[in-house]
């Protein structure tokens, strides 16, 4: 992977790392991707992808309101202002 | 032996739990089993909970700095079910951050093996295995994505059970890789696993991927050894395993060697799928709604998020980078989609011969390495340690890891894999095994 | 010019798309929230059946092929209003694929209709943002069109037709529709994100057409970029860097599975207001546009129109006139009052609130019992009590219309009847 591409990847991931760790991570990434490339040897174009390992029929939820019993417990985890959650600037 | 049943029958002296907590505190400092010990416990059968499983009102961090201070306002379904059945939470157990590791050292407090504290306890459910190895009356609720129950169970000499995917609700589990994550258990006996399964499995409306199933005590007399796996086992382990197989053979099991060439791809396939999913799961940690808080809101949101995400450990960062890369539009079909196809191919192949047999292998290809050795492994060396546990995990098949030998005082384990929903067949196998093989423990905290 | 749209429409369900929190407006922020719509670690989505049922109805109404087994994907990007930093949405497993909307002289193809979750409401402050997660997880559908719209008129027609179709299957988008506009005059596609409301969509497209046109005229090409619409100045500006498709890194949503939609009931009668208007116009020789305007977003009006035409002996144009009154006076005009009201209209009485009240109370127009004497008396009475009216008439004979309508209203006499007598009587006063 080119340096510029790796830096772009870091940015997309919202990650910033010190120079030394950056070198290590870049090398690991290259090594691991090379290892992953191994799977291109396998021929299985006519196989359906397995999104799960077992088949699970989707079961819907009925459209009923249930109030969550501990809204306060949720908001205790965060900073609020007049019941709004405070977030970073946009 | 049924520890759960025995405990309920026996008279507990007054102050039992206080004494237990006191002794546990000391050993915990030595081995790093718990991230949090529940000082309020005063009744019930002690159960520890891996720290990536939510318990209402109890700090849950998945051993990550980025989740420091997260107090879930709800409990995982499996915890609710077990609490109703008389199990009480003793604490939250140490683990590799978010489940990312095979040795328990990707944590602020690296876990240590109770049989030799210079060695690793195994991971990622390191604390669950240590707790099981030091506490006599206790069960651990743990979780496995690619071998996180079996690996530490075998290094710490306890029983580790990974159920069929979907049998136990994942609601309340902090995700590593949703299509692979399975909540399971560790205990000192297979019979206790049977008790736990009976009280925890079944469809949960809060987890769409959970299922109901009828579990039978499938009995199989044929055990399959997969050549591709067998050939990669360390020398010491191999001779111990051969002895175990001999014992099983003379007990009437038919042993067969088989080749499954596709199985060699299970490690890259497993890591591609799990990293792709993990990198999306880890995107939500941005430093303001829960856990670690960044103070300065006036930073633009990109800088704000980036500052928060510096708190991830190195393996988490590696998984985010790789996972994000391989699901990018231009390479997605080469990595992510291809891996999903190979997963099906491997699963179909394994299913076909699991019809009339179980698969047997050592649980880990090596004896528990020292912490120093493990710290010097490259990521790829680390990943290759999972080669024996990954195939069953990748296919969602149940597996049980049982202590099978002690080499220089260090436990090693065998792993039996069954077909989908053959969970109780594996438990039965374990129960039989325990009739002729006695497990050793160095500690028996809470003995009565 | 080529315009494509991605229209976002909120679905009318009781609970959110992936959790049981209420979708109703709340007095306070962050009251209809739970770990799922807050994206708290450990929570998992569970899919609302009604949302899928409605989305299926919409797909059918827009002539899409219905995917019998639907699935979801994660679209990952970072923004404070997105709780999990990924949105659960649909791609290949979308509920509706490949439909179309026919306009008067063109067709807009629908690429797909996908079900997805709304992010939180975000309020920008100078040094931070404020977030209300009551909106987080509200079920949306996104209707993605091909770039088949080629003029502002088509855009306008598309939006009003779409709105009417949705209205007739129970998805009323009076709360402003939100859309992303793709406009390209040249080689590159320009995307204008998050434009709210039909008027703004049209203004934005007008500005953008002009802007791109000027760039091309000067011999250059508009850049491929994302822009946002500024309502105050009616312009578009280049916006913050947005993630590209490469960066969204779609993967299958592994917390959900594939869902069969075959068991979900669709409302059989999908209405096309235009077709119905056309049929009625042809059958009863009425004005098509007037009918369409009356019924496009008013199901009651359509029912009343049918009732009036089929079940009463009223003349069709009278029924239509009565329906126009409905537009102003609402549900006071209904099956019960229709005939009576038409009676007033037929007699030339101007319909106002007072007349509506009379109609509601079942009072028929009084004309038939008014004698000629009474009419003359009323006119005399009014003229003698308001000499200024006569003066004004002297200066400008056109004032007669005003006098007629004043007397008609005040004494409850049809204008026609007043008009017949007014000139004679006025003549007396002028002398």
Query: B213 lies in a domain?
Result: yes
Question: DSSP letters along B380-409, please?
Answer: HHHHHTTTTTHHHHHHT--EEEEEEEEETT
Using an 8 Å CB-CB cutoff, list chain C residues near B170.
44
- Rounded to two decimals, the pTM is 0.90
- Round to whole Å and give the CA distance between B306 and B76: 30
Query: C149 lies in a domain?
Result: yes
Query: B84 lies in a domain?
Result: yes
Q: What CATH number is attached to the domain comprising B50? A: 3.90.1300.10
Structural domain total, chain B: 1
Please tell me whether residues C328 and C343 are part of one structural domain: yes
Please tell me whether residues C111 and C250 are part of one structural domain: yes
Please tell me whether residues C358 and C409 are part of one structural domain: no
What's the confidence (pLDDT) of residue C243? 60
Please tell me whether residues C29 and C166 are part of one structural domain: yes
Please tell me whether residues C247 and C286 are part of one structural domain: no
Q: Where are the domains of chain A?
A: 3-40
Q: Is the CB of B296 inside 8 Å of chain C's CB atoms?
A: no
Summarised one tens digit per residue, pLDDT across range B41-89 is 999 999 999 999 999 999 999 999 999 999 999 999 999 999 999 999 9
- Reported residue count of chain C is 431
Summarised one tens digit per residue, pLDDT across range C45-74 is 999 999 999 999 999 999 999 999 999 999
Query: C355 lies in a domain?
Result: yes
Query: B318 lies in a domain?
Result: no
Query: C306 lies in a domain?
Result: yes
Query: B233 lies in a domain?
Result: no
Using an 8 Å CB-CB cutoff, list chain B residues near A48.
341, 344
Residues 6+ apart with CB under 8 A from B223: B245, B248, B253, B254, B255, B256, B357, B358, B359, B360, B416
At C207, list the tokens: 């500005």
Question: What separation in angstroms does the CA of C200 have from each of B291, C11, C163, C242, C305?
Answer: 40, 22, 15, 22, 32
Domain boundary among C344, C365, C386: C365
Residues 6+ apart with CB under 8 A from B83: B75, B89
- Expressed as residue numbers, the domain containing B148 is 3-218+361-436
CB–CB of C250 and B332 under 8 A?
yes
Of B165, B279, B320, the CB nearest to A54: B165
Contact at 8 Å (CB) between C380 and C421? Answer: no
Write out chain A's pLDDT in tens, 90 residues: 899 999 999 999 999 999 999 999 999 999 999 999 999 999 988 999 999 988 898 999 999 999 999 999 999 999 999 999 999 999
Of C39, C129, C246, the CB nearest to B328: C246
What's the confidence (pLDDT) of residue C364? 79
Taking the mean position of all CA atoms in its chain, how far away is CA C361?
32
Structural domain total, chain C: 3
Q: Is B116 exposed, middle or buried (0-12, 13-18, 19+ CB in 10 A)?
A: middle
Residues 112-141 in C contacting B (C-alpha not used; CB under 8 Å) = 127-129
CB–CB of B329 and C245 under 8 A?
yes
Between B1 and B158, whose confidence is greater? B158
Please tell me whether residues C167 and C296 are part of one structural domain: no
Residue position matching structure tokens 């009651």: C300
Q: Which residues pair with C182 in a beta bridge?
A: C4, C191
Q: How confident is the model at residue C337 (pLDDT cuts 50, 70, 90)?
A: confident
Q: Measured on CA atoms in the order C256, B389, B398, B420, is the torsion positive or negative?
A: positive
Q: Is pLDDT above 70 for B311?
A: yes
B87-93 and B45-50 beta bridge pairing: parallel
Query: C192 lies in a domain?
Result: no
Q: Is the CB of C363 inside 8 Å of chain A's CB atoms?
A: no
Please tell me whether residues C11 and C29 are part of one structural domain: yes
Query: B243 lies in a domain?
Result: no
Contact at 8 Å (CB) between C348 and C319? Answer: no
Please tell me whether residues C397 and C378 are part of one structural domain: yes
- Expressed as residue numbers, the domain containing C316 is 273-365
Residues 42-61 in A contacting B (C-alpha not used; CB under 8 Å) = 42, 44-45, 47-54, 56, 58-59, 61
Query: C317 lies in a domain?
Result: yes
Summarised one tens digit per residue, pLDDT across range C147-199 is 999 999 999 999 999 999 999 888 877 666 889 999 999 888 899 998 998 89
Q: Is the CB of B317 inside 8 Å of chain A's CB atoms?
A: yes
Q: Is the ipTM of this complex over 0.90?
A: yes
**Taking the CA atoms of chain A, what radius of gyration do you get in angstroms?**
23
Query: C188 lies in a domain?
Result: no
Q: Is the CB of C46 inside 8 Å of chain B's CB atoms?
A: yes
Domain boundary among C316, C343, C365: C365
Please tell me whether residues C339 and C310 are part of one structural domain: yes
Please tell me whether residues C163 and C288 are part of one structural domain: no
């Amino acid at each position: 992977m080119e340096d510029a591409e790796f830096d772009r990847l870091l940015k997309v991931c919202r990650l910033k790392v010190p120079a030394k760790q950056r070198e290590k991570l870049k090398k690991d990434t290259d090594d691991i991707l090379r290892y992953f490339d191994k799977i291109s040897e396998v021929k299985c174009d006519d196989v359906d992808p397995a999104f799960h390992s077992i088949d699970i029929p989707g079961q819907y939820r009925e459209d009923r309101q249930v109030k969550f019993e501990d809204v306060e417990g949720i908001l205790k985890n965060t900073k609020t202002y007049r019941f709004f959650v405070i977030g970073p600037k946009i | 032996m049924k520890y759960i049943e025995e405990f309920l029958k026996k008279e507990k002296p007054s102050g039992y739990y206080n004494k237990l907590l006191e002794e546990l505190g000391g050993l915990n400092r030595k081995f790093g089993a718990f991230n949090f010990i529940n000082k309020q416990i005063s009744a019930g059968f002690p159960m520890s909970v891996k720290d990536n499983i939510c318990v209402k009102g109890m700090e849950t961090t998945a051993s990550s700095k980025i989740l420091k201070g997260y107090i879930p306002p709800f409990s995982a379904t499996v915890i609710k079910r077990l609490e109703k059945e008389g199990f009480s939470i003793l604490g939250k157990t140490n683990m590799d951050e978010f489940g990312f590791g095979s040795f328990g050292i990707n944590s602020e407090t690296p876990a240590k093996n109770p049989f030799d504290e210079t060695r690793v306890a195994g991971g990622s459910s390191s604390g669950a295995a240590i707790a099981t190895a030091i506490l006599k009356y206790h069960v651990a609720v743990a979780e496995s994505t690619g071998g996180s129950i079996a690996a530490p169970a075998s290094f710490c000499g306890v029983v580790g059970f990974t159920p069929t995917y979907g049998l136990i609700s994942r609601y309340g589990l902090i995700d590593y890789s949703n299509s692979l994550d399975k909540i399971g258990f560790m205990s000192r006996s297979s019979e206790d696993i049977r008790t736990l399964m009976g009280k925890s499995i079944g469809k949960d409306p809060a987890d769409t991927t959970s299922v109901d199933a009828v579990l039978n005590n499938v009995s199989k007399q044929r055990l399959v050894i997969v050549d591709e796996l067998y050939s990669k086992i360390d020398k010491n382990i191999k001779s111990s395993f051969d002895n175990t197989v001999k014992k099983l053979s003379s007990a009437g099991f038919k042993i067969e060697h088989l080749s499954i060439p596709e199985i060699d791809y299970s490690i890259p396939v497993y890591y591609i799928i799990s990293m792709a999913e993990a990198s999306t799961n880890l995107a939500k940690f941005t430093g303001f709604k829960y856990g670690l808080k960044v103070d300065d809101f006036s930073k633009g949101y990109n800088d704000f998020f980036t500052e928060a995400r510096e708190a991830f450990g190195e393996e988490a960062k590696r998984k985010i980078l790789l996972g994000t890369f391989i699901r990018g539009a231009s390479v997605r079909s080469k990595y992510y989609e291809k891996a999903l196809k190979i997963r099906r191919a491997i699963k179909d192949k394994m299913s076909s011969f699991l019809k009339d047999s179980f698969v047997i292998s050592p649980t880990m290809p090596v004896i528990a390495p020292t912490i120093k050795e493990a710290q010097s492994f490259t990521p790829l060396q680390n990943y290759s340690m999972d080669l024996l546990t990954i195939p069953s995990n990748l296919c969602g098949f149940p597996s049980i890891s049982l202590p099978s030998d002690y080499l220089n005082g260090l436990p090693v384990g065998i792993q039996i894999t069954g077909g989908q929903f053959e969970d109780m067949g594996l438990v039965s196998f374990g129960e039989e095994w325990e009739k002729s093989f006695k497990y050793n423990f160095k500690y028996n905290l809470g003995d009565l | 010019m080529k315009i494509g749209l991605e229209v976002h429409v909120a679905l009318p369900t009781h609970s959110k798309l992936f959790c049981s929190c209420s979708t109703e407006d709340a007095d306070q922020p962050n009251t209809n929230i739970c770990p799922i719509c807050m994206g708290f670690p450990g929570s998992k989505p569970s899919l609302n059946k009604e949302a899928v049922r409605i989305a299926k109805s919409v797909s059918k109404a827009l002539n899409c092929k219905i995917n019998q087994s639907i699935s979801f994907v994660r679209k990952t990007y970072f923004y404070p209003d997105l709780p999990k930093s990924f949105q659960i949405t649909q791609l290949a497993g979308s509920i509706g694929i490949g439909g179309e909307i026919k306009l008067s002289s063109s067709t807009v193809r629908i690429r797909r209709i996908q079900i997805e979750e709304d992010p939180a409401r975000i309020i920008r402050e100078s040094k931070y943002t404020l977030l209300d997660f009551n909106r987080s997880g509200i079920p949306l559908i996104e209707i993605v069109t091909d770039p088949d719209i080629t003029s502002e008129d088509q855009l306008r027609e598309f939006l009003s037709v779409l709105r009417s179709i949705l209205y007739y299957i129970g998805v009323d988008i009076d709360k402003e529709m939100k859309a992303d506009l793709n406009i390209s005059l040249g080689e590159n596609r320009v995307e204008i994100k998050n434009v709210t409301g039909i008027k703004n969509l049209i203004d934005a497209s007008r500005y953008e057409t002009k802007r791109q046109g000027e760039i091309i005229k000067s011999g250059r090409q508009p850049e491929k970029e994302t822009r946002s619409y500024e309502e105050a100045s009616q312009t578009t500006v280049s916006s913050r860097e947005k993630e590209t498709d490469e960066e969204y890194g779609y993967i299958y949503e592994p917390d959900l599975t594939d869902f069969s939609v075959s068991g979900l009931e669709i409302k059989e009668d999908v209405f096309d207001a235009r077709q119905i208007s056309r049929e009625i116009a042809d059958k009863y020789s009425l004005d098509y546009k007037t009918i369409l305007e009356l019924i496009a977003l008013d199901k009651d009006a359509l029912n009343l129109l049918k009732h009036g035409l089929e079940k009463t002996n009223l003349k069709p144009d009278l029924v239509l006139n009565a329906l126009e009154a409905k537009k102003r006076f609402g549900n006071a005009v209904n099956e019960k009052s229709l005939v009576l009201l038409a009676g007033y209209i037929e007699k030339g009485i101007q319909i106002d609130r007072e007349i509506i009240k009379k109609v509601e109370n079942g009072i028929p127009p009084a004309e038939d019992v008014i004698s000629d004497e009474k009419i003359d008396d009323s006119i005399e009475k009014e003229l003698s009590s308001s000499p200024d009216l006569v003066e004004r008439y002297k200066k400008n004979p056109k004032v007669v219309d005003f006098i007629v309508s004043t007397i008609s209203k005040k004494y409850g006499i049809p204008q026609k009847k007043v008009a017949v007598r007014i000139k004679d009587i006025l003549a007396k006063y002028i002398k």
